[in-house]
Amino acid sequence: MTIQAVADYRGTFEQGSLTSLFLKITNFQGDAVDPSAISVEVTDSLDASVTSGTPEKIVEGFYIFDWDIDSAQDAGEYTTTWTYTVDGVETDAVQSVIVAATGDLGGGSLYSDRLSGFRASVDLHLQCAQSIPVYDEQGLICDDEQTVRFTFPRWNQNSYTRIYLNQKPVTSGITVNYFKGEIIFDRVLTEYDTVTASYNFRWFSDDQIDRFMSNALHTINLYPPSSSYNLGTLPHRFIPIIMYGASKDALRELLLCLQFQQPQEVFGGGDAAQKAFSNLETLKKNFEGDYNTLLEQKKLGPYMGLTKTTVTPEFTLPGGRSRWFRYLMGGFSL
């Protein structure tokens, strides 16, 4: 296909680090699907191949590719192109990454294997909100008469996205910006042209998911006993707290959005959005209950490798000494 795609930004990585890139493949309804063939290639700004291979399947529809970045790799922007085939249709998913000079990041990748898994787990808790189908939406033609903008950004890149010009499918001559929810035509459109699209989008961006997880992490560190974990060093037993904390914050943000007209249209208008609001509020309270219960368990340990002693002080009259003190001083035996 001659349709181009604007790359979705997937993070900044450090020279000499092992980087994990991931791709989630879904159908139009947002259900995970496995391709019959899949490959990935990383190219530099001159379109020269840096590395390529076959990604590893983690679960259905979820693939990870490890890129061991050389310590001498030039700093700059790189493009990751995933090529996969679903139902006989070959599709390219394009991602943009930045390689930064060693020391610029303070260590650690924004898309390490563990953090990618965390994001995927939060997505599963919010699955429907992260794969919302929109059918036959008419786009708004911008002032340049080539760009067509649609209501929602963050389109999921899949082979089921459909673009129509005057009710006829478009198979060439356009660039799709999945990140912004825009289509740029190679030619100027007229006032009589109508552009519609069927697409699937994510309500929450990766930046939002990261912020929700960070909020939950800071709360964990505040709860006694005080700790200083980050998402890379967090013990496994605290991972459910991160998932529930991030999910409740995401639902809280979604509930706020449902107070406004444009987000309400996803749920079928104001009346339907109010019904959805009540159901989502109940779900948020369930997440909050589990979240608070797990936080309370933190103070109970386990205190592995530590010996703790509880001492009850004993007081005497002025000038006196406790029996325990006199025993230590050799005055008498207990």
Domain ranges of the chain: 4-109, 137-201, 206-300
β-strands 37-43, 49-53 pairing:
antiparallel
pTM for this predicted structure: 0.67
Can you tell me the distance from the alpha carbon of 6 to that of 94, in angstroms, rounded to the nearest whole number?
7
Q: What is the dihedral of CA 41, 81, 78, 130, to 10 degrees?
A: -130
β-strands 174-177, 4-5 pairing:
parallel
**46-55, 164-173, 314-323: segment of lowest average pLDDT:** 314-323
Nearest to 199 by CA among 149, 267, 252: 149
**How much is the pLDDT for 298?**
86
Supply φ then ψ for residue 175, to 5 degrees: -120, 130
Can you tell me the distance from the alpha carbon of 251 to that of 130, in angstroms, rounded to the nearest whole number?
12
Q: What is the distance in angstroms between the CA of the first residue and the CA of the last residue of the chain?
A: 91
Q: What is the mean pLDDT of the chain?
A: 83
Residues in the chain: 334
The fold adopted by the segment(s) 4-109 is Immunoglobulin-like (2.60.40)
Give pLDDT tens digits for 245-288: 999 999 999 999 888 888 888 888 888 888 888 888 998 999 99
Can you tell me the distance from the alpha carbon of 303 to that of 237, in angstroms, rounded to the nearest whole number?
13
Confidence band, pLDDT 50/70/90 cuts, at residue 105: very low
Q: Residue 293 pLDDT > 60, yes or no?
A: yes
Residue 33 near residue 5 (C-beta atoms within 8 A): no
**How much is the pLDDT for 165?**
94
Mean pLDDT (whole number) for 108-112: 55
Give pLDDT tens digits for 1-41: 556 777 777 777 888 888 888 888 888 777 888 999 999 99
Cα three-residue angle 34-40-45, rounded to 5 degrees:
145
Q: Residue 328 pLDDT > 60, yes or no?
A: no
Nearest to 260 by CA among 179, 178, 151: 151
Confidence band, pLDDT 50/70/90 cuts, at residue 140: very high
Give pLDDT tens digits for 120-133: 889 888 888 888 88
Nearest to 216 by CA among 254, 243, 253: 243
**How much is the pLDDT for 164?**
94
Q: What is the 3-state secondary structure (H, E, C) of the chain?
A: CCCEECCEEEEEEECCCEEEEEEECECCCCCECCCCEEEEEEECCCCCEEEEECCEEEECCEEEEEEECCCCCCCEEEEEEEEEEECCEEEEEEEEEEEECCCCCCCCCCCCHHHHHHHHHHHHHCHHHHCEEEEEEECEECCCCCEEECCCCCECCCCCCEEEECCEECCCCEEEECCCCEEEECCCCCCCCCEEEEEEECCCCHHHHHHHHHHHHHHHHHCCCCCCCCCCCCCHHHHHHHHHHHHHHHHHHHHHHCCCHHHHHHHCCHHHHHHHHHHHHHHHHHHHHHHHHHHHHHHHCCCCCCCCCCCCCCCCCCCCCCHHHHHHCCCCCC
